[in-house]
Amino acid sequence: MRFVEEFRDPALAKGLLARIDAAARAIGATKESPVRIMEICGGHTHAIFRYGLDRLVHEGIEFIHGPGCPVCVLPMARVDEAVEIAEQPGVIFTSFGDAMRVPGTRKSLLQAKADGADIRTVYSPLDALDLARENPEREVVFFGLGFETTTPSTALTIQQAAREGVGNFSVFCNHITVPPPIKALLDDPHMLLDGFVGPGHVSMVIGIHAYDFIARDYGKPIVVSGFEPTDLLQSVLMVLEQIRDGRAEVENQYGRVVPEHGNPVSLAAIADVYEERPSFAWRGLGEIDRSGLRVRAKYAAFDAEEKFGIGYGARRARDVEEPDGTACAQVMTGRIKPTGCPLFGTTCNPETPMGALMVSSEGACAAYYQYGGRREPEVVE
Ligand code: SF4
């Protein structure tokens, strides 16, 4: 298949692995003192394990899995609030499939559906808008989730609803942004990261200069990467070469998809519909300043928080603890690997997930379970 097979070429991969090996040795990376590279995006985590890249690269390179899975970082209180909205009479609550099984403190959306709430899986916010047009006597709510990759589609849908005057449609907004949690991780003295593989899809929307602060203020290299195995190997090589050469820059390995300055149409839609919240709660990371988005007052008629009196959910999220025995927060912040969680693969597995990292297709625990779950526990810290 064109544009896929050439990025899975074994000869190309072997050549890149040899160059990674040489660069790692030049830096002096060893198993005991590894170069720690965080892949921010959950899609990259899955690609690394799917293709066994963690086992192919030099032993002195350690992948730290970042918080780039939007379902995984959603606080339980926001799931509770989604259930609260969905269980109100007359509501049709719509969501992407990923979020249906994420546990709340009382129940997941799937359990609420089994209990009688009208909750439907959709493939895009436009499907939810269609449902609102078809059911004018019902309130249709879309569970707006995700980073800058999905934010433009909900923004454009709200604009469309406003143009058409579809008054029974709203979005429960949980959109979040990538740069603030990276800054929070860099400010954490325990993280000790040497470089980053930057997200490909998010960067398609925001461009590469949103990461300038990583190189400028923290002196760390970041390479925005594609998702095929040779994309990731080349990105790791580019990070190592920057370290070897004493450089800290923002580089774009995924130039075939990511424009330097992002997508102006998407950015304009986001700016029109959303504004930053003062702070937002992240599972495992706590409150992070200016990391979440809310619907602007001019679109308040399409804001489910306003319509259902949910208020500022992040304030309530602080009071909600994770279930006993789960180590989601430590995995989320890269302090332990998923196999270091006592529940991994036993109580917590894809059939009966205890934490969101096992639920989402982009979660680190799901990736470990699917591709390498039988390894010995490894403690990073
Ligand atoms: S195995 Fe389950 S409980 Fe443990 S960190 Fe992963 S998702 Fe959380």
Rounded CA separation 338/59 (Å): 19
Rounded CA separation 71/363 (Å): 8
Ligand 1: distance of its center to the CA of 357 in Å? 6
Q: For residue 267, give Cα distances in angstroms to 73, 262, 336.
A: 23, 8, 35
CATH number 3.40.50.11740 given to 76-177+261-317 = yes
Atom 6 in ligand 1: residue holding the nearest Cα: 365
Rounded CA separation 373/299 (Å): 45
Walk along the chain (381 residues) and give the pLDDT tens digit of each residue. 666 677 788 889 999 999 999 999 999 999 999 999 999 998 999 999 889 999 999 999 999 988 878 888 888 889 999 999 999 999 999 999 989 988 888 899 999 999 999 999 999 999 999 999 999 999 999 999 999 999 999 999 999 999 999 999 999 999 999 999 999 989 988 878 999 999 999 999 999 999 999 999 999 999 999 999 999 999 999 999 999 999 999 999 999 999 999 999 999 999 999 999 999 988 878 889 999 999 999 999 999 999 999 876 544 555 556 677 888 888 877 788 898 999 998 889 888 888 878 887 778 898 888 887 544 434 444
Mutation choice for ligand 1 from 72, 102, 331, CB with most ligand atoms inside 8 A:
331
Q: In sequence order, what are the residues at sequence separation of 6 or more whose Cβ sits closer than 8 angstroms to the Cβ of residue 96?
A: 121, 122, 123, 143, 145
Give the nearest ligand 1 atom to 341 CA: 4
| Closest by Cα among 171, 180, 119 to 150 | 171
> Which DSSP string do the residues of 306-358 spell out, in sequence order?
HHTT---HHHHHTTPPPPTT--HHHHHTTSB-GGGSTTBTTTBSSSS-SSHHH
State pTM to two decimals.
Answer: 0.89
| Closest by Cα among 329, 335, 341 to 286 | 329
Report the 10 Å Cβ neighbour count for 22. Answer: 15
Rounded (5°) CA angle 215-191-103? 110
User: Which is it for strands 169-175 and 195-198: parallel, antiparallel or unpaired?
Assistant: unpaired
Rounded CA separation 242/248 (Å): 6
Atom 1 in ligand 1: residue holding the nearest Cα: 344
- Give me the half-sphere count of Cα atoms (radius 13 Å) on the Cβ side of residue 305: 16
Ligand 1: distance of its center to the CA of 240 in Å? 31
CB burial readout 193-206, b (16+ within 10 A) else e: bbbbbbbbbbbbbb
